[in-house]
Structure 1
Amino acid sequence: MNFYSSLTVSEGSIRYSRGSLEVINQLLLPFEVVYEQINGVKDGYRYIQSLKVQAGQAVALVSILSLAVEIHNTFYNDDMLPPFNDKESAVNYIYDNLDYFRSARQTPYTLYSYIDIIWEAVIKENEVANDAEDIFVAYLERAESLLDEVVKNNQRLSYNGEKYILDHCLKFKDVNHQRVKVVTHGNFGEFSCLGVGTALGIIRQLNKSEYLEQTYCTETRPYNNGSRITAFELISEKIPCTLVCDSMLSSLFSETKIDAIIVGAERIAANGDVISTIGTYQLAILAKFFNILFIVAAPSAVIDLKSKTGKDIEIEKFSELEVTQIRGEVVEDEEPPVTSMTVKVSTPDVHVYAPAYDITPSNLISAIITDKKVLTRDNENDMFDFQELFK
């Protein structure tokens, strides 16, 4: 079984081999590391809907691999008669299930990008395929190669991000002279993006090169992905890490010299507006005020050229319970097994405003780091030029 992880603690957020898929339950982190078996399309869809897997890359890959598992275990099960008599029925089956997964989430664009990549491979194979098996083999091979590509692309992105930060933050590229302090928000590490991650990939690379002095990770309410998952990843790898509440950032910036803020993205509009974890926009405003580099780490697959601006993109909402309740470890438990508990933290029946993402205007962004290259705003029109990424 292949593990797609940079952590030894979890052995990978996605564990896949042909015919088998296990995915870590993000809702239980960091107190429990639990993998759940995904046996097919319905399992994968429910897993995504329950937010046991949350951010874009992981959601997209769980969708594609859930269908891969179902294909393998249905078509290659000796105890069952293959339900597909010809390649047309196989193509229709794949199309229907991929289309079903498109409805699983509305905001993350990698879900649509990766499905399009897989579908393109199926259509290409259909031109030369002799039967249903040819179609299914093409699907499985492309899904598996995409999984490897994502890991490699995230690594390239991390190198690009490190170079940009060193070029813009350090006067002397020597660990004896200067190191950087960075802030990150949300979780864009291995549990969201695979491999080293995107935003956390850059931080990992800075630490590996000994240019990182300190990482401040936000709590990231209401899901607490920062305090639960990002901190878990950083602490597990002994990367310098300090947790800060979202509401304490202005105080932090006024007292501490921060070199860069590094965030991820779920979707980027054609004008450069960034849709990311709720709270990213206010962080960008603070970066502008305190003159801090605001860097978006995003694979090219999140760039949505069909949406002119962020206003054209549907923003998902949290359940109100994510704001009014909180789950954590019971601190009175001194010995295993440690238990968890959900408690209410708000006045009953209060109305809640709870968007899952916000839109950061492009003019607040210093650079967008992709797996292909670093993008900055054009000097003439103050816009990001994404066309060169897709030539």
Structure 2
Amino acid sequence: MPFASDRVRAVAWREEALELLDQRLLPGEIRYQRLLSAEEVAQAIREMVVRGAPAIGITAAYGVVLAAKARYHQDPPHWRELVEADIRQLAASRPTAVNLFWALQRMGQRIKNVEGPPVAQLLAEAQAIHQEDITANQRMGELGAALLGERTAVLTHCNAGALATGGYGTALGVIRSGFAAGLIERVYADETRPWLQGARLTAWELMQDGIPVTLLADGAASALLHQGKVCWVIVGADRIAANGDVANKIGTYHLAIAARYHGVRFMVVAPASTVDISLQDGTAIPIEQRAAEELLSLGGQPVAAAGAEVWNPSFDVTPAALIDALVTERGVVLRPDGEKMAGLMAPATNG
């Protein structure tokens, strides 16, 4: 199956600096931030200039490169020790996306084996992480599209596309591949309150590629599923526990419940780096609490009663029992459970 091209890149290394597409400004303005330090990278992750678990991990890897460049210039004999503080700062930028910690751990392992000036060697590692993510997304696109069966419309939540990854996307990677194969006729996108990633990002991204997209309010999803026009819900993930429970953008859980009630299949698409086998189930996944202002205001204007208290988790956990298919670049797990997840994540052996 030929890959449907995606025209969006959220993360780029250009002229010895990291450039991030500022996703807070989309779709009204396309502006890249040029970052020169690990501190700036951590701030950009924390403030959601970049978002999406794979993209956060890639961004953090490039942040380590910037840290090494500065620390080696500052104190060549002791740059490794100095970089450790930068890595801790990057790790603290967002708590839920496990790809962040996976990428930092991989960069930390590479640091141990560096000989001589570190920048070129660490940059090669970060670029490898970036390219491997794109390749994995294309593979997941193929695997997920093969599950669709018949030509259909699909529903997605938040943004799990090129904007959330190194390129091509996870959930939107499946959608791109499915559309290219003639298996997807239309994409319905939840608006995804309170940051409106579906409205601002997913709808915009799909329109760049000429894929038909219809936007709906989060609360309209059950009514859409009741009409029988959608055969699959396809979403990404920020962390997956060892038993197959999935943390994703808030609103995913009740979408999975609605899908099961209406007989609509539910697909989660995420790289293997999103699987955290150290967590037995989803109850152990740390859920980030965001600022109250995200619900109390919109575009800087108050929209809620003054003094109202706010509960604003950024993610929820969908139990594995509600997931029909979990797609990674390693393969597809149908109706995931602990045993199947262990098999998926087992180290490859040469027979």
* Pairwise CA distance, 1:16: 1.0
Report if the CA contact (8 A) 1:272-1:383 is conserved: no
CA distance in 1: counterparts of 2:39 and 2:314, whole angstroms = 24
* Pairwise CA distance, 1:74: 6.6
1:205 pairs with 2:174:
no
Match of residue 92, structure 2, among 103, 106, 109: 103
CA distance in 1: counterparts of 2:276 and 2:15, whole angstroms = 31
TM superposition score normalised by structure 1: 0.83
Report if the CA contact (8 A) 1:18-1:72 is conserved: no
Deviations 1:362-384 (A, max 9, x none): 10000110011001236xx7853
Report if the CA contact (8 A) 1:19-1:73 is conserved: no
Deviations 1:332-371 (A, max 9, x none): xxxxxxxxxx322111111112110001011000011001
* Pairwise CA distance, 1:60: 1.7
Amino acid paired to 1:145: A
Report if the CA contact (8 A) 2:67-2:86 is conserved: no
* Pairwise CA distance, 1:320: 1.1
- Describe the shift of the 1:249–1:383 C-alpha distance in structure 2 as closer, same or farther (beyond 3 A): farther
Amino acid paired to 2:345: L
Aligned residues: 344
Q: Which moved more, 1:280-289 or 1:205-214?
A: 205-214
- Describe the shift of the 1:301–1:253 C-alpha distance in structure 2 as closer, same or farther (beyond 3 A): same
* Pairwise CA distance, 1:119: 1.6
1:180 pairs with 2:144:
no
Report if the CA contact (8 A) 1:18-1:69 is conserved: no
Deviations 1:144-183 (A, max 9, x none): 11111111111111111111223xxx3xxxxxxxx11100
CA distance in 1: counterparts of 2:228 and 2:303, whole angstroms = 31
Report if the CA contact (8 A) 1:57-1:193 is conserved: yes
CA distance in 1: counterparts of 2:258 and 2:304, whole angstroms = 28
| Match in the other structure for 1:146 | 129
1:389 pairs with 2:349:
no
- Describe the shift of the 1:202–1:283 C-alpha distance in structure 2 as closer, same or farther (beyond 3 A): same
| Match in the other structure for 1:317 | 289
Identity of aligned residues (%): 28
Instruction: List gaps (5 residues or longer) in structure 1.
Output: 76-81, 171-178, 328-341
- Describe the shift of the 1:74–1:353 C-alpha distance in structure 2 as closer, same or farther (beyond 3 A): closer
Deviations 1:230-263 (A, max 9, x none): 0000111110111111111121111133110000
Amino acid paired to 1:151: I
| Match in the other structure for 2:317 | 359
* Pairwise CA distance, 1:18: 5.4
Report if the CA contact (8 A) 2:191-2:216 is conserved: yes
CA distance in 2: counterparts of 1:51 and 1:221, whole angstroms = 15
Q: Considering only CA atoms, is the larger Rg found in Structure 1 or Structure 2? A: 1
TM superposition score normalised by structure 2: 0.93
* Pairwise CA distance, 1:49: 1.6
CA distance in 1: counterparts of 2:342 and 2:68, whole angstroms = 36
